[in-house]
Amino acid sequence: MPQALLVLLLCQLAGEAIARLIPAPLPGPVFGMLLMLGLFAASRRFVDFMRPLAEGILANLSLLFVPAGVGVVGHIATLGTQAATLIVAVVISTMLAIAAGAAVFVAVARMTGATDD
Amino acid sequence: MTDLAAFWSYLSEGPLLWLSLTLLAYVVGDACFRWSGRKPYVNSVLIAVAILAATLWLTGTAYATYFEGAQFVHFLLGPATVALALPLFDNLDRLRRAALPVIAALIAGSVTATASAVAIAAILGVGPVELASIAPKSATAPVAIGISERVGGAPTLTAVLVILTGIVGAVVATPLLNALRIRDWRARGLAVGIASHGIGTARAFQVNTTAGAFAGLGMALNAVATAFIAPIVLWLFS
């Protein structure tokens, strides 16, 4: 477990370094993820080595958003007089985006025959 | 009584209490989710946040003090993002086969998320700083905040709107997609990841691992897409 955690952190560290070196609009951990993906592709044994830790963290992904969520409650006042308006815009646009993304995926998958087996 | 007060002041200043309470609130939230029969509107993050916010308010604790303890949980967001490589790798073949629908859904979802949010806010008479702040709200927090700064938004406001978007997406996705009769887990997961980043992805993993993998992909792709789309949408509305 400590070895797997070390590898995970080193990938993130390398990702942070890459994010500062190249001017792409991506945060360090996303580069770390791409790096990890490359390592997975290189070695099947490495996948088995990382699996317990990665699955353990991802199974509890929701938990990790709790501290930021608590911070939002304290900042709800920053929404100011336009709070209701902004919340309406967030709710409607998020529903529209989910519907549009899923519907377009299904339509294009049908057109191109990209079915899932 | 004074002993108790001394113990409280000792505990409330250190990380132990707030870290414990963060985990406890989440355990309660997760138990509520299970007891409800895994209903999407019984969102474990939302319940945990409500419990903790009420606790901070009742005890008059500053968020900075709370965060001393909660930061250990918050820190894991980075390693968790790196760990998303695993479900992506497990589903690499299916992702490759679905490349065209993925790209089409990314453009549709990302443009809809940004343009509809800005359009609705503009129609309802929101100011330019707020418009710039809401435009990148479907991207993952660090990316959204970076974009907001570049297009003249308020980073703190963007952070609030990003988290709200994530919670809304996590709560509405299942009933909405059921109503639309979309059963393809790839489509469902990807759309949720694009529209509501990590919180939506966490919700997708609760429902189905394929949906989770596609949601993680959607979140990563939309971080890139929003960086290009948000400035264009704002330019059109200014």
- Using alpha carbons, list the distances in angstroms from residue B31 to A50, B36, B55, B200: 28, 8, 19, 19
Specify burial of residue A113 (Cβ count, 10 A radius: 0-12, 13-18, 19+).
exposed
pLDDT at res. B1: 59
Are the beta carbons of A25 and B223 separated by less than 8 Å?
Answer: yes
**Residue B53 contacts A where some CB pair is shorter than 8 Å:** yes
Q: A33-48, pLDDT tens digit by residue?
A: 999 999 999 999 999 9
Q: A53-64, pLDDT tens digit by residue?
A: 999 998 888 999
- Is residue B95 within 8 Å of B217, Cβ to Cβ? yes
On whether both B139 and B31 belong to a single domain, the answer is no
On whether both B186 and B152 belong to a single domain, the answer is yes
Q: Could you tell me if residue B127 is left (phi over 0), alpha (psi between -120 and 50 degrees) or otherwise beta?
A: beta
Are the beta carbons of A98 and B192 separated by less than 8 Å?
Answer: yes
Distance (Å, rounded) from C-alpha A1 to C-alpha B78? 17
Chain A's closest residue to B99, CA to CA, is A114
On whether both B109 and B187 belong to a single domain, the answer is yes
Among B75, B98, B123, where does a domain finish? B75
On whether both B212 and B141 belong to a single domain, the answer is yes
On whether both B138 and B184 belong to a single domain, the answer is yes
Q: Please say if the pLDDT value at position B5 is more than 90.
A: no
- Is residue B197 within 8 Å of B166, Cβ to Cβ? yes
On whether both B124 and B228 belong to a single domain, the answer is yes
Which residues in B lie closer than 8 A to residue A102 (C-beta atoms)? Answer: 105, 177, 180, 182, 184, 187-188, 190-191
Radius of gyration of chain A (CA): 20
- DSSP notation for B1-32: -HHHHHHHHHHHHSHHHHHHHHHHHHHHHHHH
Q: B50-74, pLDDT tens digit by residue?
A: 999 999 999 999 999 999 999 999 9
What is the separation of C-alpha B137 from the centre of its chain, rounded to a whole number of angstroms?
Answer: 9
Lookup: tokens for B90: 């497990």
Domain count for chain B? 2
How many beta carbons lie within 10 A of that of residue A93, not counting itself? 26
Q: B182-232, pLDDT tens digit by residue?
A: 999 999 999 999 999 999 999 999 899 999 999 999 998 998 899 899 999
Q: B101-140, pLDDT tens digit by residue?
A: 999 999 999 999 999 999 999 999 999 999 999 999 999 9
Number of continuous H segments (helices) and E segments (strands) in chain A: 5, 0
Distance (Å, rounded) from C-alpha B32 to C-alpha B44? 7
For residue A85, the distance in angstroms to the closest alpha carbon of chain B comes to 7
pLDDT at res. B146: 86
Residue of B21, B81, B111 to mutate, interface with A, max A Cβ within 10 Å: B81
Q: B22-40, pLDDT tens digit by residue?
A: 999 999 999 999 999 888 8
On whether both B119 and B140 belong to a single domain, the answer is yes
Domain hosting B33: range is: 2-75
SS3 B184: coil
On whether both B160 and B52 belong to a single domain, the answer is no
Q: A89-108, pLDDT tens digit by residue?
A: 999 999 999 999 999 999 99
DSSP state, B124?
T
Contacts of B176-179 spanning 24+ positions with Cβ under 8 A: B176/A95, B176/A98, B176/A99, B177/A98, B177/A99, B177/A102
Q: What are the boundaries of each domain within chain A? A: 1-59, 71-117
Q: Average pLDDT of chain B?
A: 92
Mean pLDDT, residues B3-12 taken together: 83
Q: Please say if the pLDDT value at position A78 is more than 80.
A: no
DSSP state, B39?
-
On whether both B28 and B96 belong to a single domain, the answer is no
Nearest residue to A24 via CA among B78, B88, B137, B226: B226
Q: Please say if the pLDDT value at position A23 is more than 90.
A: no
pLDDT at res. B237: 85
Are the beta carbons of B187 and A41 separated by less than 8 Å?
Answer: no
Q: Please say if the pLDDT value at position B21 is more than 80.
A: yes
Distance (Å, rounded) from C-alpha B10 to C-alpha A115? 59
Q: Please say if the pLDDT value at position A116 is more than 80.
A: no
Give me the sign of the Cα torsion angle B85, B89, B91, B95: positive
Distance (Å, rounded) from C-alpha B230 to C-alpha A100? 17
- Is residue B130 within 8 Å of B121, Cβ to Cβ? yes
Instruction: Write down the pTM of the prediction.
Output: 0.88
pLDDT at res. A117: 58
Nearest residue to B219 via CA among A15, A30, A107, A117: A30
The fraction of chain A above a pLDDT of 70, given in percent, is 97
Are the beta carbons of B109 and A98 separated by less than 8 Å?
Answer: yes
On whether both B163 and B141 belong to a single domain, the answer is yes
pLDDT at res. B3: 84
> Who's near A27: CB < 8 A, 6+ residues apart?
A19, B81, B140, B142, B143, B146, B223
On whether both B38 and B150 belong to a single domain, the answer is no
On whether both B9 and B44 belong to a single domain, the answer is yes
Lookup: tokens for A3: 């070895």
pLDDT at res. B200: 95
